[in-house]
């Protein structure tokens, strides 16, 4: 039986709630502006690829997310910039939380931003299918994290990191980048924690890039690019 309300607050402690509210509303340090003129999402090809090149400097990454783009490696050393249509989004009140998943949440310790780089490295483990997170991306997003723009939601058990996700927060917008787990339900609970963090900090839009059958089972829906960009403009204002 599933709880379709998307209300995940009751699954987390007051201490974790306070940590989420603090981290997701903390002061962020503005990096130098990007030296690149990034393309418009309207230039995307049928696969969502908008352009190739530029860099992963903090200013470039923030400009890209504000403009509806996100980067992924393209072949070995090239950076591809993507804006798929439709876009996968998770409504803040739309996560599907089954009774068993809610029970699983109580079996983990939840932390925020204690092992950001390690979460990224676990997400980028080359043994995982379709792994794409390389050292350049780890370094770039760690720099964003140190400036206050990127966060990790982590699930721990017996002092061991067993699941988590990371992403970029700009205003009331959060872009979920990747997640991992080595224990059953650990990444799903991290996703619950991310929704919770957005709910308690006044979030508006959660982006997951592409919808997949797995993500759809958790409540992710597809939004036309034009509608996504309108919501993004409001959320990142």
The domain segmentation of the chain, as residue ranges, is 2-27+86-235
Angle at 48 between CA 42 and CA 51, to 5 degrees: 70
pLDDT string in tens for the chain (237-residue length): 344 445 565 578 889 999 999 999 999 999 999 999 999 999 999 999 999 999 999 999 999 999 999 999 987 789 999 999 999 999 999 999 999 999 989 999 999 999 999 999 999 987 776 678 999 999 999 999 999 999 999 999 999 999 999 999 999 999 999 999 999 999 999 999 999 999 999 999 999 999 999 999 999 999 999 999 999 999 998
Strand intervals (E) in the chain: 2-3, 49-52, 70-74, 78-82, 87-89, 97-98, 109-112, 150-157, 160-170, 173-181, 205-209, 221-223
DSSP H or E segment with residue 118: helix 116-123
2-27+86-235: CATH, from 3.40.250.10, 1.10.3720.10, 3.30.420.40, 3.40.630.70: 3.40.630.70
Q: What is the CA radius of gyration of the chain?
A: 17
DSSP-derived 3-state class of residue 150: strand
Q: What is the pTM of this model?
A: 0.93
């Amino acid at each position: 039986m599933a709880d379709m309300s998307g209300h995940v607050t009751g699954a987390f402690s007051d201490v974790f709630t306070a940590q989420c509210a603090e981290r997701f509303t903390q002061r962020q340090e503005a990096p130098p502006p990007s030296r690149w003129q990034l393309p418009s999402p309207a230039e995307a090809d049928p696969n969502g690829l908008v352009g190739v090149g530029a860099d992963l400097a903090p200013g470039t990454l923030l400009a890209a997310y504000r403009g509806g783009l996100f980067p992924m490696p393209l072949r070995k050393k090239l950076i591809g910039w993507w804006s798929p249509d439709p876009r996968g989004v998770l409504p803040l009140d739309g996560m599907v939380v089954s009774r068993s998943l809610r029970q699983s949440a109580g079996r983990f310790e939840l932390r925020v931003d204690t092992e950001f780089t390690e979460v990224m490295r676990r997400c980028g483990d080359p043994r995982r299918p379709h792994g794409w997170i390389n050292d350049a991306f780890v370094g770039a997003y760690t720099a964003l994290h140190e400036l206050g723009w990127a966060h990790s939601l982590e699930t721990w058990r017996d002092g061991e990191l067993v699941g988590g996700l990371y992403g970029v927060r700009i205003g009331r917008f959060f872009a979920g980048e990747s997640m991992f787990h080595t224990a059953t339900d650990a990444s799903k609970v991290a996703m619950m924690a991310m929704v919770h963090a957005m709910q308690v900090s006044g979030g508006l839009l959660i982006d997951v890039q592409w919808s997949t059958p797995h993500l759809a089972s958790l409540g992710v829906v597809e939004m036309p690019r034009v509608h996504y960009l309108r919501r993004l403009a409001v959320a990142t204002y």
